[in-house]
Structures are given as C-alpha cells and as structure tokens.
Amino acid sequence: MDPKEYSIKGFGYCNLSLAALHSEPDHRSEMVSQVLFGETFSIIDQRKNWRLVSCSLDDYAGWIEAGQYEEITEAEYMRLLHGNTPVSSELVQVISDNTHNRFFPLLLGSSLPGIDEQSFRIGQTEYVFEGDIRQPGIVDLQAGLLQAAFLYLHSPYQWGGRSPFGIDCSGFVQMVFKLVGISLLRDTGQQVSLGDVVNLPSEVRAGDIAFFDNDEGQIIHTGIIIDSKHIIHSSGFVKVNRFDHFGIFNEKGKRYTHKLRVIKRIL
C-alpha cells in the first residue's frame, strides 16, 4: 500500500516496548513489521479499533491496534521528527513512565528523542531511561555498524520482526543501520534501490549490503558483509556464514543457501 494515497488524520508514537503492524485491521492478518518504543508515525486511515499508519523512519504502512500507541499533536510530531534522537544500545533494559507511574522493557534500537541526563518527554509523558544509549553521528561508522550487528547475533528469525527477540533479514539490516544513525527503507526489495553498486566481491568492505535472489530473479534476502569472506544475516536466526561471489555458503550443510544478486554500499 502507498501511504501517499491517503490524507493524514493524526500523529502518534509507540508508547510500548513494541507494537505489531498488520497487513489488515485484524490480529489474524500477517504481521508485516513492528514499531519500537519512541518511533513516530502519521495516521492515514482508521477502521473501528484499528489505525493505518505510515512510519516516519521509512514511510512503511501497516495497521496498528488503537490501544498500542499514544496520539500526539502535529507540532509535537514535527519536534520529534527533526530533533536529536539517540537510541537504546542494550538488548533489553527498563524504562520508567513517571507520568503514569509505570515501567516496561525497552528493546535494542528503541528511539529516545531528546533524552538529556536520563530523562525526556514525548507529548505530555515524562520518561526516565538509565541504560546505555547511542548518539547519532558515530565517527567510525564501519566499526559501529559491525558492533551493532553483533548485538543481534543468535536472535531468532521472525517475519516482520525488528527486535532482538525476533527479526527478519531486512529488519535486521534496517535496525543495524538505525543504531549508527542511518535510516533505511523497510523491505529487501526497497533496500536494494539504495546506495552504490559494488562491482566485485573482492572490492567489498565491512558494512556493505549484499542482496540475494531466487530462481525467478526476485530479491528475497539480504545481509551485512563483515569482510570479503563472511556475512552476518538473519536466516533461521542471526548468524555469520561464509560468503563469496556465488552467495552464502553453509559449512554445516556443505551447500550454498542464497544466490548473490548484487552488493550495495551505503556508507
């Protein structure tokens, strides 16, 4: 669905650990993505207890249950959109909602807009977070990117997932880049349109993104290159595998599991 086909009806942010985005306004429909705490979106349609939202990070659209987010004004949305937004850099930590006297888990890569000395405000709610954070604008992006990637190591694969407790291949790539302050599109087919082509596998460097296709030529998988011989990606779980100009080689199974299509450079 193209969010540009809809008019904006409001704005919101995820005020929970995470919330699912569905393909239809029904819990039984496919989960197409997730929004993490602090991530904002515009509301573009509604049906009963569901809202169709377009995420600020990547313009990705999906249906969220009305009770799983908090509405904010347009002015507050714009403040959050253009302000400094560090992210949580721990797998899981506790965040306190002092306004409503509650606390809940905060997951790796959650947004902490305007945090200053452990406190920040979104709308009318005051939050306190005492865990580790990453500020945008890491000097050594390649080192920071690989460090972020290995935080997700062994996280289980989950279609539509964006957290260390379940993450798909493109969600993994997107979240790793978010941790170093770079916004990417959500799906593999969208991400392949970004960056510059690396012509030869021998020319790759850490942080390049590899894309893989099926027999019909459709881009179906992606991962982050560690070096000329290794890649980290989410397939079954986040893992490191051998990599060469043919694709990803599984040493345990003694076979290639993914066929290389193209390598792109974002950094």
**Residue pLDDT, tens place only, 81-134:** 999 999 999 999 999 999 999 999 999 999 999 999 999 999 999 999 999 999
Residues in contact with 102: Cβ distance below 8 Å, sequence separation at least 6, in sequence order: 96
Q: Which residue has the tokens 């569901």?
A: 50
CB-based contact 200:206 (threshold 8 Å): no
Predicted TM-score (pTM) of this structure: 0.95
Q: Per-residue pLDDT averaged across 217-236, rounded?
A: 97
Amino acid at 203: E
Q: Which two tokens stand for residue 162?
A: 């964006």
The CA distance from 103 to 242, in Å, is: 42
Cα–chain center distance at 250? 26
**Residues with active-site annotation:** 169, 221, 233
pLDDT for residue 3:
66
pLDDT at 139: 65
- Please report where in the chains the tokens 């377009």 appear, as a residue: 54
Per-residue tokens: 51: 């809202």
Alpha-carbon distance of 202 to 34, in angstroms, equals 35
Q: What average pLDDT does the structure give for the chain?
A: 95
Per-residue confidence band for 12, with pLDDT thresholds at 50, 70 and 90: very high
Residue of 53, 39, 55, 161 lying closest to 106 (CA atoms): 39
